[in-house]
Amino acid sequence: MPAPVNPLKQALARGRVQIGFWQAMASPVVAEISAHAGFDWLLLDAEHGPNTLSTLLAQLQAMNGAPAVPVVRPPVGQDWVVKQMLDLGAQSFLIPMIDTAEQAAAAVAMLRYPPEGVRGVGAALARASGYNAIPDYVASANEQICVIIQAESRVALENLDAILAVGGVDGVFIGPADLAADMRRAGAVSDAGVEAAIEAALGRISESGKAAGIIAFEADLAQRYLKLGARMLAVGGDVTLFGEAARDLAAAFRGWTA
């Protein structure tokens, strides 16, 4: 029996749009609700969300068998960090702050077993192998790993073609906020220069045959990114959605007592 098929990797390879939802609450209950809400993938954020291995495990377990596929973003692209996330059963990764082809190649390697990579072999102890119930896991795991590189700086965009040429990279995800900050436009994602850089990058990624990804919480912006070739599109997040809904609800009822 081989490793489970990764539906996100398959869909992106076929050019199908995959709609995602950010998870930063580190809550298995929220992950379970979101995983059955109609999204194609959920981003379990350990870079800016308060996630640990234990909270990631709980969310992966809560999503088990759900229509949405988990994508894990580690706090940093280091082999000692991602190896445990791999053993938890994560198959899709968004690796942050990648600026060069060499860093992209290192990211691919850390997510794969030898000889294609440098992932440590401890599958007999891991949830990824069904706790040693999948006999062919080590032999088949590599082909189901989805590697999405996050480009978030001017240097990354300058090196974009070289990054896209790295074997094993399934897609490149633009980080608008960090890119804007690096362009001296912190908090101004809608700046004309930032928008032009994003649009050009999405076009180059799409033309390469790799999946272009980005986050857009506004419907008009999301539609524009889709027209520009985005195929891995995040359209909202748990913290943002809950925060806005809670504030709107409180404001509505406070109006009754004003």
* Residues known to be catalytic: 48
Which own/partner contact pairs does 30-37 have at CB distance under 8 Å and 24+ positions apart?
Answer: 30/238, 31/59, 31/62, 31/63, 31/70, 32/62, 32/63, 32/66, 34/68, 34/238, 35/62, 35/63, 35/66, 35/67, 35/68, 35/70, 36/66, 36/67, 36/68, 37/68
Place of tokens 């891991």: 126
* Strand pairing category for 18-23 and 230-237: parallel
Quote the DSSP letter at residue 129. G
Helix or strand or coil: residue 243? helix
